[in-house]
Amino acid sequence: MGGLLVLQSHGPDAPAWVRRCVASVRAWAGRVGADHRLEGDTLFDRLPPALAARDARGPVRADLARLLWIRDELASGRWERVAWLDADVFVFAPDRLDLSTAGTHAFGRETWVEVRPDGREPRVRRHVHNAVCVFGPGDPVLPFLIHVAGGLLARAAPGRTSPQIIGPKMLTHLHGVADFPLIESVGMASPPVLRDLATGGGPAWDTLRQAHEAPLAALNLCASLVGRTVDGVTVTDGLLTAAMDGLMDRMERGAPATTGLETHQP
């Protein structure tokens, strides 16, 4: 049995910054001796025909398809762990990214930072997401999630289904009772965080770093927000590229790109 398999997928017209994200994950996988596989729209071939034909949001179908792909790879008996990372996850500190788990599953910690119009400290909302997730053989959560996700997709109302229903919405609710193990080293870059990274730093980025219990090694850059304005920040391909450049510049200069916790260690 091999070690870790890392799975990713994106469409044929992915912008350059997404391809840069995938390259960062592929490089990290090579660094730790993991296998890396990237697919395009063939990801959806794993959906049952009745669900593949549903007029539901693409992200909902993708959330189920990734679970089915993970299940199939684990069933081959070749892997000790199979991980999924969204194509918009950027690994900026590969030496700190660790997807090992004590059990047979883990999900991402979503710490969403919002700015306040009155200038007070940024507000933090905590959720659980599947932009990064890891499963091992015999895991009991994976088949349950596939069962529930399949039912949700079958009942999804065309044009009125939240794109997050199978991902953060479902996982956050389940986490309240199941207490999933969470991966703290992969953060979520809200638009204010992206703006801070693109302009040399700021309170939203500092809040994100300090809210995680482990040093950040990668960020989900939230490709779904491109073209939208959130918290006064218009998310564009240019902003995302500038945020990635800002991150790498901070790493090269040795500026804090993780939590503030390590500054208190002896």
Domains of the chain are 2-264 (3.90.550)
Residues 219-237 pLDDT 10s:
999 998 999 999 899 999 9
Listed residue (79, 126, 87) closest to 104, CA to CA:
79
Q: pLDDT tens track of the chain, all 266 residues? A: 679 999 999 988 899 999 999 999 999 999 999 999 999 989 999 998 877 665 555 677 889 999 999 999 999 999 999 999 999 999 999 999 999 888 999 999 999 999 887 777 899 999 999 999 999 999 999 999 999 988 888 887 666 667 777 788 889 999 999 999 999 999 999 999 999 999 999 999 999 999 999 999 999 999 989 999 998 999 999 999 999 999 999 888 876 555 443 332 32
Strands 123-135 and 79-85: antiparallel
Residues 6+ apart with CB under 8 A from 76: none
What does the H/E/C string look like for 45-59?
Answer: HHCCHHHHCCCCCHH
In terms of Cβ atoms closer than 10 Å to its own Cβ (0-12, 13-18, 19+), residue 64 is buried
Residues 168-177 pLDDT 10s:
888 999 999 9
Identify the pLDDT of residue 161. Answer: 67
